[in-house]
Copies of this chain bind each other. A is one copy, B any other.
């Protein structure tokens, strides 16, 4: 009887306890063997959970000593990863609203077909959304989704969360994403759709999003007013970085 992913459950339980302060920063966690005992599992399973915690910046494993609880959340909790607008808005602490400016199904065309790695005449959803925070128009999202991979998308889905539609309704798994950050001068469209008075730059995040089976299904260009942009990254070094 092979159970579910035990190490994931343990990871979530320990990470929760760290965030709630049951395991305080700068203290050492119970040893791997102690965890293995208390969770009635093997040490390897515990190690998988602890490695996840280390990867995500919760702990630092120190050989011979133990697993030290880190205190990286002093300023800001690491949010690197696939962050949705809703989470971002909450982090900003303001009232968030989304307005769909455009919602069409059309052929990809030269530019987008290259980004999505499909033929020119492949059908793609084009979604243009303006994100409001505290009644200010601060983010412009332009999403392009391959129709055959995301069938049945509606304007209503876009007003909520496209990710939610994909994962809960279509039951497909979003697996990884490549993001590219640059800073450009605002375009005419930026000035038209966003409240850009007094701002002379726009943060452009190009986001390529992939399914479980490594098919690219979405390209998003997210354009942020600079004062409402922040990105936090937690990076762990490889033992031998030979890039």
Contact = CB atoms under 8 A, between A and B. Distances in A.
A61 to B, nearest CB: 10
State the copy count for this chain.
2
A44 to B, nearest CB: 9
Contacts of A177: 234-235, 237
Interface string A183-214: 11000000000000000110100000010111
B237 A180 contact: no
Interface string A226-243: 110111111111111111
Nearest to A232: B180
Contacts of A80: 233, 235
Contacts of A107: none
Given A70-B214, A214-B62, A233-B80, A240 B8 contact: yes
A230 B182 contact: yes
Contacts of A233: 80, 178-181, 233
A234 B241 CA distance: 16
Given A12-B242, A201-B226, A235 B176 contact: yes
A183 B183 contact: yes
A229 B82 contact: no
Given A72-B178, A212-B240, 7 more contacts: A51-B243, A52-B241, A81-B235, A173-B240, A177-B234, A177-B237, A233-B233
Interface of A: 5, 8, 12, 48, 51-52, 55-57, 60, 62, 68, 70, 72, 75-78, 80-82, 87, 173-184, 200-201, 203, 210, 212-214, 226-227, 229-243
